[in-house]
Structure 1
Amino acid sequence: MKTITTRISEDLLEKLEEIEREEKADRAAVIRRLLDKAVGNWKVEKALDELREGRTTLRTAARKADLTYVEMLDRAKEAGIQLGYTAEDLRDDLAELEE
């Protein structure tokens, strides 16, 4: 395991201390858990951005985010990302043909 050092604000330190008390855990364990969660969230958001911009496929986004295909599909749906030809797309196309 590697060691990292950083400066944090007094406000952030107080929040960390609150979590330590709540979780009955030492500072290092709390920071590792929070950092792991933050990195995971960042990876998911990055993959969703790439998916939204059409720079990656659903399968590749899932791999990059360390999620299953179905989990990534759910996250994309929650984020309102269109992944293909939807029923609404069909209705729009049919409406254009009728004009």
Structure 2
Amino acid sequence: MGTISSRIPDDLEEDLKSYIEEENLDKSTAVRKLLTEGLGDWQREKALKRLEAGETTLSGAAAMADMSVWEFAALAKDRNVMWVSEDHLESDLDDL
């Protein structure tokens, strides 16, 4: 397991302390949890953008986001992202 060291602004440190207290976590666990959640959000957003741009299929975007096709389809629907296109329709239907 790698180690990360970072300087953060005072206001962010105060927010982290509040998070640690509310979630009853130690600092390392809290930072790992926040990084995991943040990176997961980033992966989902990146996959949604690539899907909307037609750069990938629904199943490809789901894999990028580390989600099932059905979960990702629901996310795309919630975000009003169109994912059905003639170019990818057959592949997406096969994957479903």
TM-score between the two structures when normalised by the length of structure 1: 0.82
Provide the aligned length of Structure 1 versus Structure 2: 85
TM-score between the two structures when normalised by the length of structure 2: 0.85
1:78 and 1:45 map into 2 onto residues whose CA distance is: 13
Q: Which protein shows a greater Rg?
A: 1
Deviations 1:21-76 (Å, cap 9, x if unpaired)?
11111111100000000000000000000001110000000001000000110011
- Note the residue ranges of structure 2 that are not aligned, 5 or more in a row: 86-96
- Note the residue ranges of structure 1 that are not aligned, 5 or more in a row: 86-99
RMSD, matched Cα = 1.0
Higher relative CO (CA 8 A, sep ≥ 6), structure 1 or 2? 2
Q: How does 1:44-63 map to 2 (within 5 A)?
A: 44-63=44-63
| Percent identity over paired residues | 39
2:67 and 2:52 map into 1 onto residues whose CA distance is: 17
Runs of 4 or more above 6 Å deviation: none
